[in-house]
Structure 1
């Protein structure tokens, strides 16, 4: 019912349906149990708000005769929901069952009998054998976010015991015959509406779901669902779009997600699978935005390096440069020429990138004179990890290959420049990329959600994040 920590991933169905998801999420029975604990605490607070109306009437009590009575100022002092369980109903949803619960209340009593005799005092009432059986329904609202409501609810109130403070013993006869039933009915009528209200109280929190999460000035990622959740006997599975877009312009890439499914898992509360499609949609977006290009100048090269970005250094390998452009500083432009390709294989994530490297001589008047253009094919390995609520990473160079594209200084042996450009990639380009990757990319989240004991493994075609979840800042207090 009250799956506070999981409704970030639950069934909202946007008008536009995609064929396959980029991100799959699995809520396990362990996660459902954590949701039950949060939900019971919230429901317990909600039931404490029961308002019991004053009860009054006239009844005949032997041997006294007619007795006018009233119970007033009744307040709930405790609610116990010690026995509860949640269950998955395959194809339907989640069911919450509470049994052997109790409600304690305190109030005042007053009686008048034999026309002139009045008596009053206080009482404590315990209502036992309380049962609640309810189910939660989930649908989407007009913004594509989830909204929840109570589908059905049944509540029964069992026996009641009362302790009067003041008054005679015959008051118990009055209670057991007449007042007991009236009190239990008054309580029973309010339980299911309060359950429905507690479920409805989730909706403001659900509106915090980052359906579209901003990444940076270039990109955002969409986490709307592409299908209804699948409820099985052991888990609830959610299919999210998981696609990067340029901010303000949602253009689909020239490729589509391929189906994948998460393996059966039970150790963690939550599993998130991020596909190659999601990663490659990010590469498409950043390349289209022109973000995968970098100007490199000499001040970006470590001071202790024997290689300097000037015509003197390059003139050692390409004499024409030293002759035609003596004593000038240089600038390099590294720019991708097509979308990088990211692949996931067991325990290995790699990125294949095709770029050009254009070398310029910087003239005294700051104009740039092109020297040559190299074609660069490179492969890097990616180490992926979860930091807070973001997926982050770092890369290391595997290999690179240079070929000559265009030369403005005559022909030369490109292989002689391998060491220079390996150094440029390792000490300038890759650290720049790692600085960006370390900032991470937002995962789907709701409210003040925190991932705990998180593990990430790279599998065939997707990466799998297994994690437990905690909420900080007490979501419960916001809904009680």
Structure 2
């Protein structure tokens, strides 16, 4: 990877060594409401799985005598959860409450009294069902968020059975005995199904990309560095947000600063990406020794009067033209220190220190070193979202060249500024922006899309305010 390709990447990136996060994600009450809608749909499907086993009993009915009955093939016809709410419980998680729910079931009945046997079907209407559950939010050993059912209570307000067929007009007289039995059977099944619905959310949470591949050299870790922080208004997730060489996780010699999120609630989710992550990327790529860029004449536009050959450079450095006439040249740009990124309000800047080595290409393709320049450069970045990736483009702010070593004598380095400015602007920056457009992955769950997104560059971090939508 070239130096300037990295500068494009690092200008986009957000950071951790300690328990301070490099990335912070906040789920607001609006996001929680969207989660409630998804959760109610899932719970409604779970409640459709209620299965009341066949059961039988006997009751003495006034004016009739002892009646033996059995109910079988009891199946759900419909489930309604018309009124539900979720609220945050500070320090714990989420409180879910459902009121006015109803369930309709259908089954078969069979009775025996005296010497009479009869059978038919029945409908059961469960009304005024209420459910209250607390969902604890935590993290697992891999840094994924988790949810679990902390407590649950269910109450069936009424369960009314209506018999059809046979002498059902008679059997409806003792339905109150059956109502109580069915009501108890329903209440026993609801909380286990709620617990299962909550547990079934964890496979989706496991899709958080705690280790997201950036390219063939690097990956970014989004594991949680501390348990979720639950307040009365939001849930905050503290993510590591650190770049690593693939297969070699080495910590940088610096740590992230504390991240604070502004008290905004108009969007579902807020993602704060710190400067630490960008600087961890610089550490990773520089240690890997891949922050280099080779520049040859075939990368220069054909119509440019400036060529990478000893004739062009010989105008400014006569010794080159005298000792190496008629040869093509090659420039190699590489970093000598870890590049550094900084965020200021509405501004992102990357400063890099490196060298530029100029070579003459001999007829046998060997390289002869001509001179080495010290390079100080600064680029600014414009960032934007492309799907679930943060992407952007860069512009050259400034560069400064000083002479390091030379085998072609002393010369005025300033005289070469126009050549290197052209190389940077015409060759390096466009290549850089192609890489930048690929972006790097944001923390996300599977099938998650961003909507109504706004992006701000603040002091020491990038803030993304967004709504989310899940597909599938």
Q: Across the two proteins, how many residue pairs are aligned to each other?
A: 456
1:91 maps onto 2:91 in alignment = yes
TM-score of the two chains, using structure 1 as the length reference: 0.92
Q: Secondary structure at the match of 2:438?
A: coil
* Other-structure match for 1:312: 311
Distance 1:105 1:168 in 2: 17
Distance 1:392 1:348 in 2: 15
Q: Secondary structure at the match of 2:382?
A: strand
Distance 2:76 2:19 in 1: 52
- Deviation digits for residues 44-65 of structure 1 (CA, Å, limit 9, x no counterpart): 0001000111121111112111
Distance 1:179 1:284 in 2: 72
* Other-structure match for 2:284: 285
Q: Secondary structure at the match of 2:179?
A: helix
Distance 1:375 1:120 in 2: 97
Distance 1:17 1:132 in 2: 43
Q: Once the 2 structures are TM-superposed, how far is the Cα of residue 169 of structure 1 from its aligned partner? A: 2.1
- Deviation digits for residues 239-268 of structure 1 (CA, Å, limit 9, x no counterpart): 111111111111111211111210111111
Stretches (4+) displaced over 6 A: none
* Other-structure match for 2:204: 205
- Deviation digits for residues 157-208 of structure 1 (CA, Å, limit 9, x no counterpart): 01123332223423222112x1000011111100000111111112222322
Q: Secondary structure at the match of 1:261?
A: coil
Q: Once the 2 structures are TM-superposed, how far is the Cα of residue 140 of structure 1 from its aligned partner? A: 3.5
* Other-structure match for 2:77: 77
Report if aligned partners of 1:17, 1:227 keep a CA contact under 8 Å in 2.
Answer: no
Report if aligned partners of 2:17, 2:252 keep a CA contact under 8 Å in 1.
Answer: no
Deviates more, 1:204-213 or 1:193-202: 204-213
Structural mapping, 1:211-290, within 5 Å: 211-290=210-289
Distance 2:142 2:356 in 1: 45
* Other-structure match for 2:156: 157
TM-score of the two chains, using structure 2 as the length reference: 0.94
Report if aligned partners of 1:135, 1:153 keep a CA contact under 8 Å in 2.
Answer: yes
Q: Greater RCO between the two (CA within 8 Å, min separation 6)? A: 2
Distance 1:27 1:46, change over 3 A: same
* Other-structure match for 1:25: 25
Alignment RMSD: 1.4
1:395 maps onto 2:407 in alignment = no
* Other-structure match for 2:5: none
- Deviation digits for residues 13-32 of structure 1 (CA, Å, limit 9, x no counterpart): xxx98231111111100000
* Other-structure match for 1:191: 190
Q: Once the 2 structures are TM-superposed, how far is the Cα of residue 432 of structure 1 from its aligned partner? A: 2.1
- Deviation digits for residues 196-247 of structure 1 (CA, Å, limit 9, x no counterpart): 1111112222322211111111111111122222211111111111111111
Report if aligned partners of 2:344, 2:458 keep a CA contact under 8 Å in 1.
Answer: yes
* Other-structure match for 1:106: 106
Distance 1:68 1:463 in 2: 72
- Deviation digits for residues 288-317 of structure 1 (CA, Å, limit 9, x no counterpart): 112210111111111121111111111122
Q: Once the 2 structures are TM-superposed, how far is the Cα of residue 139 of structure 1 from its aligned partner? A: 3.5
Report if aligned partners of 2:18, 2:255 keep a CA contact under 8 Å in 1.
Answer: no
Report if aligned partners of 1:17, 1:226 keep a CA contact under 8 Å in 2.
Answer: no
* Other-structure match for 1:326: 325
Q: Once the 2 structures are TM-superposed, how far is the Cα of residue 148 of structure 1 from its aligned partner? A: 2.7
Report if aligned partners of 1:380, 1:399 keep a CA contact under 8 Å in 2.
Answer: yes
Q: Secondary structure at the match of 1:158?
A: strand
* Other-structure match for 2:56: 56
* Other-structure match for 1:38: 38
Q: Secondary structure at the match of 1:73?
A: strand
Report if aligned partners of 2:145, 2:224 keep a CA contact under 8 Å in 1.
Answer: no
Structural mapping, 1:322-471, within 5 Å: 322-471=321-470
Q: Secondary structure at the match of 1:256?
A: coil
